[in-house]
Copies of this chain bind each other. A is one copy, B any other.
């Protein structure tokens, strides 16, 4: 109780050996006798020794800490990615520092500064909505710290990236809605400066064309995809003289906002207007009507991001290079777009 910090020096003194021998024993160095290893561990336990990570990290030039930057933590997608990153990295002796940008560019910059300052061995990140400049990310790269981007992170930085095929996701959604006899499909989109949202818009447009449906500018609305923004954009769509009969929303929270507005206007979903979201947040299956959406394989993304980091850090002469891992999206059909009532018939 209350004794000062116990160091390897203290253990060494007790046993009459040197600190370096103790260090080796604790690190299970091969060229140290089994006898002293046992003895050292015994004393360490007795003295309630706790290694000082700071000192060893400083000495080794390696902190065994990995920084994770997410725009938000209270979304199931990001929380699940983080959980899977942690699981993989913990097994390899790494710990993670989670930071959130709150979708703010400024916060993202300061997060990166903090992480570099803390000497993390790598950074796994998904970009804030606000982010358009990439100088702060280039800083990571120029320091030789491995950078792995996921989901909102596809760009020309020339680093590892893991995400799903957003273009194809949109194709799946539109094909599905067309099969449900929808003719006028609106898109509440993310900001097109973010690559993934641009891809979703491209996929949406191309799929419309392929199905001989017209592309109308008034039906494509870019937003930050919050619940509130979903509400606003849906209100706008309802004010159109020629209303859409389906809305594809590039995020589940915004889709929820849109659904609320539809309900308030007593518009039947999916009969009058069908709705599809994006991300497969748990609530999409819990509300009435349940919302059709795209499953982004968050577990996979988390695991792959962590594994990619491990590959990079374990390769002594690794250099950053563009490397995309693109996963297949999965359309989850629920009530909000089941115009033909196929679900009920099952």
Contact = CB atoms under 8 A, between A and B. Distances in A.
A288 B54 CA distance: 52
A79 B83 contact: no
Task: Please state the number of chain copies in the assembly.
Answer: 2
A98 B95 contact: no
A50 B143 contact: yes
Contact of A54 (B1, B63, B75, B114): B63
Interface stretch (A115-123, A216-224, A235-243, A272-280): A115-123
B116 A50 contact: yes
A283 B143 CA distance: 42
State which size class the interface on A falls in: 35 or more
A97 B118 CA distance: 11
Given A1-B142, A142-B1, A53 B118 contact: yes
A82 interface: yes
A36 interface: no
A117 B53 contact: yes
A23 interface: no
Contacts of A300: none
A57 interface: yes
A263 interface: yes
Interface string A36-57: 0000000000001011111101
A74 interface: yes
Contacts of A99: 95
A199 interface: no
B288 A2 contact: no
Contacts of A48: 142
Nearest to A287: B287
Interface of A: 1-2, 48, 50-55, 57-58, 63, 65, 72-76, 79-80, 82-83, 86, 90, 95, 97-100, 102, 110, 114, 116-119, 142-144, 227, 256, 260, 263, 283, 286-288
